[in-house]
Structure 1
Amino acid sequence: MPPQSVRQWNRAVKVDFWQLSRDPAERVVALIAQKVCGAGDRLLVVSSDPAQLAVIGKTLWETAPEAFLANGTSNEPGADRQPILLSGECRAVNGASHIIFADGQWRDTAEGFDRSFLLFDAATLDAARACWRGLDGRDGVERSFFRQDGGKWVKVA
């Protein structure tokens, strides 16, 4: 479904489309989270699947001990202090400026974030394409498309 509220965006925002092929969503979330947190920003990771959020949380803790990707869920005490918040909804109680849609489902509430990441796979490819087309030509929206090439992520559009 193309985002309708994008028309009302008042500032420049980035929307990145990441096509999952070799790596699962939880590994890609960890990769993006390292960069976001390394830049001093906060992140909100959204999925409608609680099991997926649990796997993402575990992966964030275990991926890179030297990077220490601390995270928590939105229904726990101290959620507002988490650098990476995992949630089923687009409420950044942690003050996140970046959001990842880990389940491949675009939400129109992305306009409140400086940068959005839509992770999609074969099952959500058509919806991602519709979203890409829906954002085409919108004022203040910069779209990028990334895919894996031999394990490396490459910007192709």
Structure 2
Amino acid sequence: MSAAPCEVWFYHLERSSLEQVLPELLEKTLGRGWKALVRGGDPRRLEALDQHLWTYREDSFLPHGLANEPMAERQPVLLSAEDGNPNAGDALFLIDGAEPGDLSGVSRCILLFDGRDEQALSLARGRWSVFKKAGHPVSYWRQGAERGWEKQA
């Protein structure tokens, strides 16, 4: 029996920044008992996110680390610019147009994109087609009028 294909969820950011949205989604991921891998293309951006995840709320932080630090494989949330899944993340978060790579072993791939950026929109549309053709269940989530997310497709 083969494993179920990885679900791919597209999150269309319209009113909030990645820095506002990502911590909440990571908290939900950890709440499921899952590990998360955040893959981005720019190491400087990942370093900035690393700092942000320690300080985004006064009353808590997200346990996490960068892939180039010791014991990266033990991190519940790992930030990486490289291919692979060193912390055996159940959820792969793609930011800033990062390539998905091999999705085997990943339960859910979450592609976050800025709806105000035409290039990001175009890339997301192309990836939707590729994932759908490859047989991945795909979902599209858009920020609601008030707060939260609404499933659109």
Pairwise TM-score range, normalised by the shorter structure = 0.7 to 0.9
- Correspondences of 1:1-157 after superposition (within 5 Å): 11-64=4-57, 66=59, 68-121=61-114, 122=117, 123-139=119-135, 141-150=136-145, 151-157=147-153
| Paired residue type of 2:96 | D
Where do 5+ consecutive residues of structure 2 fail to align? Answer: none
Deviation at 1:128, TM superposition (A): 0.6
Where do 5+ consecutive residues of structure 1 fail to align? Answer: 1-8
Once the two structures are overlaid, the 10-residue window that deviates more, 66-75 or 114-123, is 66-75
Once the two structures are overlaid, the 10-residue window that deviates more, 79-88 or 9-18, is 9-18
Deviation at 1:154, TM superposition (A): 1.2
Distance 1:65 1:34, change over 3 A: farther
Contact persistence 1:98–1:114 (CA under 8 A): yes
Deviation at 1:48, TM superposition (A): 0.8
SS at match of 2:65: strand
Deviation at 1:25, TM superposition (A): 1.5
SS at match of 1:80: helix
Distance 1:47 1:56, change over 3 A: same
Write out per-residue CA displacement over residues 4-37 of structure 1, whole angstroms, 9 at most, x where no aligned residue: xxxxx95232100011111111222211100111
Deviation at 1:104, TM superposition (A): 2.7
Deviation at 1:51, TM superposition (A): 2.1
Rounded Cα–Cα distance in structure 1 between residues aligned with 2:104 and 2:142: 24
Write out per-residue CA displacement over residues 118-148 of structure 1, whole angstroms, 9 at most, x where no aligned residue: 1112231111101112222543x21111111
SS at match of 1:119: strand
What do you get for the CA RMSD once the two structures are aligned? 1.9
Equivalent residue pairs, number: 148
